[in-house]
């Protein structure tokens, strides 16, 4: 699928989560996400793994909402009060966050960084009218991605070199540890600048002169499935808005 479709789709999905706060809407959003997840064939365990790093944040947000929102008290424990409104709020917040993270994970798991950069460049193209250097930003992003592993390697090398000279990175408190990183950062920065200089020269030597008059090796092309995806997305969005508007009535009908 075209990365632009994925990018726009994810954006629309993320925004849609914030439009309404009601049970049926979240149910629809969750069903939609599960549907897309099944289509993407990304193993479920991978998706859940993406939740792990934000678990603490998630629990924290839920707790805060649960205890701090004022309203009808239903349960008291020591100085903490759980209110009906707080419970509802924390449930919405939790659901929203989980769907948010799963949704964006789905995009990053199914798209290579290069294609994502291409998509960002394509989507931001209209901004060129107000003199935003879109191509340059995209180029910077892709070069940064290319150099991350190289610089990581280099950090490792410098740390070992400094350790061989008796530097100590492990002991001491946080401030001391941060201070001990200076002998690593200084050479790292110097080498990064040197690399940047070399790279700029190499790019110039290969006729790089900005985005003007450039062709693309892998141009983005919409295929049939992209149009289908857009239609599905539109259906989802209308459904969601309708559901959001009339969710109160719907709940009443169901007798909840």
Q: Is 27 in the site for another protein (CB under 8 A)?
A: no
**By CB neighbour count within 10 A (0-12 exposed, 13-18 middle, 19+ buried), where does 164 fall?**
exposed
Shortest separation between residue 107's beta carbon and another protein, angstroms: 18
Q: According to CB under 8 A, which one of 216, 249, 255, 256 is a site residue for another protein?
A: 216
Could you give the 3-state DSSP secondary structure of residue 133?
coil
Binding to another protein by CB under 8 A, coded x per residue (else -) over 66-105, reads ----------------------------------------
Our CB check for another protein shows the closer of 175 and 205 to be 205
The answer to whether 187 contacts another protein (rule: CB under 8 A) is no
Question: Least distance in Å: CB of 169 to another protein?
Answer: 25
Distance from C-alpha of 118 to C-alpha of 114, rounded to nearest angstrom: 6
Residues 6+ apart with CB under 8 A from 227: none
For another protein, which residue of 136, 156, 168, 198 counts as binding (CB under 8 A)? 198
Rama region for 166: left / alpha / beta (φ>0; ψ in -120 to 50; rest): left
| Smallest separation (angstroms) from another protein to the CB of 190 | 14
Residue closer to another protein, measured from CB, 39 or 140: 140
By CB under 8 A, tell whether 205 contacts another protein: yes
Q: How far is the CB of 117 from another protein (least distance, A)?
A: 9
Q: Does 55 bind another protein (CB under 8 A)?
A: no
Shortest gap between Cβ of 185 and another protein (angstroms)?
20
CA 132 and chain centroid, separation: 22
Interatomic CA distance for residues 103 and 167, integer angstroms: 44
* Residue 195 sits in the site that holds another protein (CB under 8 A): yes
- Residue pair 138/118 in contact (Cβ under 8 Å)? The answer is yes
| Greatest Cα-to-Cα distance within the chain, rounded to the nearest angstrom | 75
DSSP 52: G
Between CA 256 and CA 254 the distance in angstroms is: 6
Site membership for another protein, residue 206 (CB under 8 A): yes
Contact 235, 12 (CB under 8 A): no
d(CA 221, CA 206): 26
Instruction: Give the range of 36-44, 83-91, 95-103, 211-219 binding another protein by CB under 8 A.
Output: 211-219
Question: Is residue 145 near another protein by the rule CB under 8 A?
Answer: yes
Q: Count other Cβ atoms within 10 Å, centred on residue 191.
A: 16
Output the smallest distance, CB 2 to another protein, in A.
16
Closer Cβ to another protein, 156 or 168, answer by number: 156
Residues that bind another protein (CB under 8 A): 113-114, 142-143, 145-146, 149-150, 195, 198-199, 201-209, 213-219
């Amino acid at each position: 699928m075209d990365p632009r479709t994925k990018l726009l789709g994810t954006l629309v999905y993320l925004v849609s989560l914030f439009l309404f706060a009601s049970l049926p809407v979240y149910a629809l959003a969750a069903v939609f996400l599960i549907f897309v997840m099944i289509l993407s064939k990304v193993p479920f365990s991978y998706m859940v793994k993406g939740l792990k790093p934000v678990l603490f944040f998630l629990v924290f947000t839920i707790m805060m909402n649960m205890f701090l929102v004022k309203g009808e008290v239903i349960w008291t424990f020591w100085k903490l009060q759980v209110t009906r409104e707080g419970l509802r709020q924390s449930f919405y917040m939790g659901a929203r966050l989980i769907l948010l993270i799963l949704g964006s994970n789905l995009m990053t798991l199914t798209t290579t960084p290069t294609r994502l950069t291409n998509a960002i460049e394509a989507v931001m193209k209209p901004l060129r009218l107000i003199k935003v250097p879109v191509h340059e930003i995209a180029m910077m992003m892709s070069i940064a991605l290319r150099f991350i592993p190289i610089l990581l390697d280099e950090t490792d090398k410098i740390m070992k070199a400094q350790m061989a000279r008796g530097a100590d990175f492990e002991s001491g408190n946080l401030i001391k540890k941060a201070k001990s990183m200076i002998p690593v950062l200084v050479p790292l920065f110097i080498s990064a600048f040197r690399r940047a200089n070399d790279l700029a020269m190499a790019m110039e030597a290969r006729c790089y002169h900005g985005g003007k008059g450039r062709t693309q090796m892998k141009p983005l092309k919409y295929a049939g499935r992209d149009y289908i995806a857009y239609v599905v997305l539109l259906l989802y969005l209308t459904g969601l808005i309708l559901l959001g508007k009339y969710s109160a009535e719907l709940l009443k009908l169901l007798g909840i």
